Structure 1
Amino acid sequence: MMKPKFITISETIIEKIKSGELQPGDQIPSENELIKHYQVSNTTARKSLLDIESRGWAKRIKGKGTYVLNRTRDHHLIRTLGSIYATRRGFHESLLAEGFQPKNLVLEKTILPDGISSEIGGKHFIIDGPVLKLHQLRYADEEIIKDELKYISLKLCPNINRMPTEISYFKVYESSYHLKIEEVKQTLSADILQPDSAENNFELKKATPMFILDSAVVCTGNKVVEIERSYYRGDKYKFAIIANPDYNDTNGQSES
């Protein structure tokens, strides 16, 4: 007996998820895209998406689309450095897409009158004051997985300190302040965080590996809009790197 068309389509997409062609947090083709690609009715396309979701491979987010759920062992979060698309999507939205419940705990949100600087990959990046300093802990399902410290230019982004902290700041730079991002400089290092360390905001009881991400977001005119230093739990994250990132890429899952 031949399989119904919607099952054939859903199984094809599930195979792409299993093979890694579609990663956790990636958006599955929309109903309209399925209709166009497979030459099927909207009922068949809708059934395909519902079948993928009912089998536990994806989750529909109202008004946004259907996203691949994170089914990796131990729920490791796979993030790709060099992806503008995924950086634009941001931490909060990425976790929602993968089926986690995100939460933020703000440790510090202050305005610094003077500028700050950071050396990333052998190059100095400077933000003139005033600067928003934002230090927050990022949760996934009630577990702290990221300790994030950002410095944002209030000259380039006035009043951004009044916005909620779960936004994608990268997206806001582009949409609200009309900044053209020219470069995102990122370096990744690793360390072991001890329970008695002053930097242990994770409530860790034993020594735990950490990824340390330093980044700078640079817009037109070589102006630095953001500098970040974040700690990611090494037992919760895996990182990959795009060798030749393209500004218009549509894959990968780093986050801001």
Structure 2
Amino acid sequence: MSNPVYIKIAEEIKNKINRAELKPGDAIASEAALCKEFGTSRMTVRKSLAILANEGYIYSIPGKGNFVRKPQHNKYILYYDEMNNAINSVDKTKLLEVNIIMPDEKLADELQITRNKNVIMIRRLFYTDGDPVAYDVKYLIYRKGMPIVEKEIEHATFTEMISGSTSLFAIKKELTIYARTPDEDIKRYLNIYNELALMVVEQKLYNSEDKPMGLGITYFRGDYIKLQGISQ
């Protein structure tokens, strides 16, 4: 099955940009010219241009037209799933605790709530081939009537835990990644007996109004984690 016309137009312009026939700052052919070249409607051409703009190839200046965007070489798309990475995937989880707590000052500040607001704390261990590879803690803002099903929580990703209260498409995510040495509790959980470092990934989820919904912190053994990103 051949691609729709608007896809063909977008791909042709992409190819010209990738072959450097069109360089950053160069003007794209006008809508009228593209309509004539491809024998199609202005609406079809606009769908093509919208694709190119969404993918970062072009930008528009009202009254002047569309232009090739300068690529952002320092921008990467990072793929993150606490259950899978480039080295291993989690094949078993162990639920350590599900509890309702009162947040300390730091956690209340992270979640933008008062200290008398209840928070659900979930602690888990992740395993690969029988070995513990990550210690995982999630903090979810408690809402009245919010169901807590331990069997579902044990194997769920962070977004799956809150998917019942909001659309997955409306969730915004923020990652912070850093290295640290493990404390004695984490050493015990992850069977660390040397100076092995941890990679810590903090994941904060927001609703469509940019209000925090939860904070997740996963402590990975340094020998069982590798994250990858691709440039835009």
Give the TM-score range, shorter chain.
Answer: 0.5 to 0.7
Equivalent position to 1:144, from 96, 108, 132? 132
Counterpart mapping for 1:172-183 below 5 A: 172-174=161-163, 176-179=164-167, 180-183=169-172
Residue 133 to residue 242, structure 1, CA distance change in 2 (3 Å) = farther
Q: Does 1:227 align with 2:215?
A: yes
* Cα distance change, pair 135–183 in 1 and its aligned pair in 2 (3 A): same
Sort the Cα spacing of 1:171 and 1:109 in 2 relative to 1 into closer, same or farther, 3 A. closer
- Sequence identity percentage: 14
Matches of residues 1-256 of structure 1 in structure 2 within 5 Å? Answer: 82-83=78-79, 87=81, 91=83, 94=84, 102-114=91-103, 117-118=106-107, 124-127=110-113, 129-155=117-143, 158-162=146-150, 163-174=152-163, 176-179=164-167, 180-193=169-182, 197-200=184-187, 201-241=189-229
Q: Report the alpha carbon displacement of residue 237 of structure 1 after superposing the two structures with TM.
A: 1.1
By how many angstroms is 1:105 displaced?
1.9
Count of equivalent residues: 152
Structure 2 CA distance for aligned equivalents of residues 166 and 130 of structure 1: 23
Structure 1's 193 and 172: CA in aligned 2 closer, same or farther, altered over 3 A? closer
Question: Relative CO higher for 1 or 2, CA cutoff 8 Å, sep ≥ 6?
Answer: 1
**Runs of 5+ unmatched residues, structure 2:** 1-75
Deviations 1:44-96 (Å, cap 9, x if unpaired)?
xxxxxxxxxxxxxxxxxxxxxxxxxxxxxxxxxxxx9744xx54xx62xx48x
1:64 is matched with none
Q: Which runs of 4+ in 1 moved over 6 A?
A: none
Contact 1:103 1:139 in 2 (8 A): yes
Distance 1:220 1:160, change over 3 A: farther
> Normalized against structure 1, the TM-score is what?
0.49
